[in-house]
Amino acid sequence: MAKQTINGKAFEYALLLEFYERLKVQTKVTITENESFVIAKSYFEGFDEVEQATFRLTASASINFLMDIEPRLSYGIDDTDILQIELVSDTQGQLGDVRDVLLIRAHQKWEIGVSAKNNHRAVKHSRLSKSLDFGKKWLGNPCSGTYFEEIAPIFEMLDSIKEKDRTTKWTSIENMHEVVYLPVLESFRRELLRLSKQNPGQVAENLVQYLIGYHDYYKVIKGKKKVEIQVYNLHGTLNQPFRSIRPKASIQRLKLPNRLIEVVYQGGSKTTLLVSLNEGWQISFRIHSAKSTVEPSLKFDINLVSTPFTLFTTHIFIENKI
């Protein structure tokens, strides 16, 4: 298991634990001890006491903020209105749900989700291959036959190399960037523009939704001495009052784009595209090989370069005296 994954799971558990400890004195709370809970708990308990305390301190700082802007966390209608806390399975992430921690009040038909990140800001790690239809999977509009014809020879070459010797390194391919990365990236660029032209208003919105998720949520990013919280309030389900108790801050809804403006290479790069959309969205797509040995697929490291001014973001600095 990769260190990044272990740290991420441990941070999810720390958030769940701190939510429970902070809220159980104010309202009725239960924890759903599902498979995700068991896995995350085991990773958390694999750290020493000092590291565990650091995870919990960061989680606690973010929960202070969330309790201020989500009064329904602390207040239930009556004793039957139980707050349920659970960790989401990884399979949900593959279905477009990027939330890791769910807080649910079934009695109120209300829930909020938290996406937990440990020193990690990428929004997706998506693959390209000979048969993978990124248009259909990401955007709801299938790629053209021309796109698959263009990329087929490159991925067939990679498949042939792997078949001959599974230990062959990517570095053994002469001019790898020009021979592999650049032609695949250029086919991807042209296809994205084609799909956008054929489906105006649809592709831009679907692309962003695919990348950031289909549900409203809070993204909590754990840094070394601070925690960053971003609020993805796409559908207006976050930041709601409870009866007469209003949130201590007001958060605007986040506008999705409806137009793809351009797709260009980033500053002479042969590996990174910048996709610009209206409403202030800009996304970088860096193509790379996921492993050191050759395989017939490539991976994108996808990041939000810029977001709308309506994306509420706050930083909480943490003084770690542990």
DSSP-derived letter for residue 299 is: E
Report the SS3 class of residue 233. coil
Distance CA 168, CA 302 (A): 27
Question: What confidence tier does 206 reach under pLDDT thresholds 50, 70, 90?
Answer: very high
Instruction: Give the residue-averaged pLDDT of 208-225.
Output: 93
- pLDDT of amino acid 86: 97
Phi, psi of 196 (to 5 degrees): -65, -40
Residues with Cβ within 8 Å of 210's Cβ and at least 6 positions away in sequence, in order, are 96, 124, 137, 138, 139
Q: What helix, strand, coil percent values describe the chain, rounded to 5?
A: 40, 25, 35
- 51 burial via Cβ count (<10 Å: 0-12, 13-18, 19+): middle
Location of structure tokens 């896995």:
39
Asked if 293 contacts 169 with a C-beta cutoff of 8 angstroms, the reply is yes
Span 265-274, pLDDT tens digits? 999 899 999 9
Of residues 32 and 124, more confidently modeled: 32
Name the average pLDDT for the chain.
94
Nearest CA-CA partner of 121 in 307, 277, 301: 301
- pTM for the full model? 0.90
- pLDDT of amino acid 56: 96
Instruction: Give the residue-averaged pLDDT of 212-217.
Output: 94
Instruction: Give the residue-averaged pLDDT of 28-48.
Output: 97
b/e map 101-138, b = 16+ CB within 10 Å: bbbbbeeeebbbbbbbbbeeeebbebebbeebebbeeb
- pLDDT of amino acid 321: 59
Question: What confidence tier does 4 reach under pLDDT thresholds 50, 70, 90?
Answer: confident
- pLDDT of amino acid 92: 65
Span 58-104, pLDDT tens digits? 999 999 999 999 999 999 999 999 999 999 988 765 667 899 999 99
Span 156-189, pLDDT tens digits? 999 999 999 999 999 999 999 999 999 999 999 9
- pLDDT of amino acid 1: 63
| Residue 301 token pair | 């490291």
Nearest CA-CA partner of 93 in 229, 211, 8, 254: 211
Nearest CA-CA partner of 236 in 220, 249, 252: 252
